[in-house]
Structure 1
């Protein structure tokens, strides 16, 4: 299972304390026309990857790979005009995602998941899009 698939499974509804109506990947995120079909929604995808140089002088290649995984959170709340309800909702969802992912150890990562950054992507008509970025590290080796 890929790192992205493991994080989707960690956030997906069905674990009892569900925060999201849907949790999907990059393909589904790319298909959003204006808003997701259900909210709150989370979309998990690889944002960037960076590899260190080969750490071995002889023998097979061994490189540390650091992956930044984006979790885009989308929620809407039109219950108040100034928008304090949706502001509260997005903060609660950010806290929930972070509590589920920070320190999570996956089979496809050699280190626990860490939080890297967060950024507001868009707000419009009571809908907020927020991107949280998490880091994971593993190793690449030469196949023989």
Structure 2
């Protein structure tokens, strides 16, 4: 499995919080075909490789992968958007509880949290991006 699929599966396991959990392809269609909120979209945001860790033989590099989880919610129950802001806080707490310390199948270490940023807040909708680090290793194949 890929890191993204493992994380999507972790967010979907035994939950009734999100109406939709998808990947980058789903996120790319969000403006034209939003399939319900709250939703979470999981994708690789950034990758950075370290130096070769071996002096001889095949190459072995540590790969730090940043995974973005974009949480989207709508709540028009109040005119000022406070309800959506409250909802996003609960959703962030849920996602963080599911992912921090989780060990995807290909990971070298458990998932850690890097940062979170408000992407958009308009018309009762709130979009929030949380970033997580998932280290793996790249190894030269024979």
**TM-score interval, normalised by the smaller of the two chains:** over 0.9
Does the 8 Å contact 2:81/2:123 carry over to 1? no
* Residues 5-60 of structure 1, C-alpha deviations (whole Å, 9 max, x = no match): 00001112x51x32100000001111122572210000000000000010111100
Separation of aligned partners in 1, 2:32 and 2:83? 21
Larger mean CA deviation between 104-113 and 93-102 belongs to 104-113
So what's the TM-score if we normalise by structure 1?
0.95
Alignment CA distance shift 1:131-1:4 (3 Å): same
So what's the TM-score if we normalise by structure 2?
0.96
Gaps of 5+ in 1: none
The alpha carbon displacement at 1:106 in A equals: 1.4
Does the 8 Å contact 2:8/2:22 carry over to 1? yes
Correspondence list, 1:115-134, <5 A: 115-134=113-132
Matched, 1:99 2:88: no
Alignment CA distance shift 1:25-1:3 (3 Å): same
Gaps of 5+ in 2: none
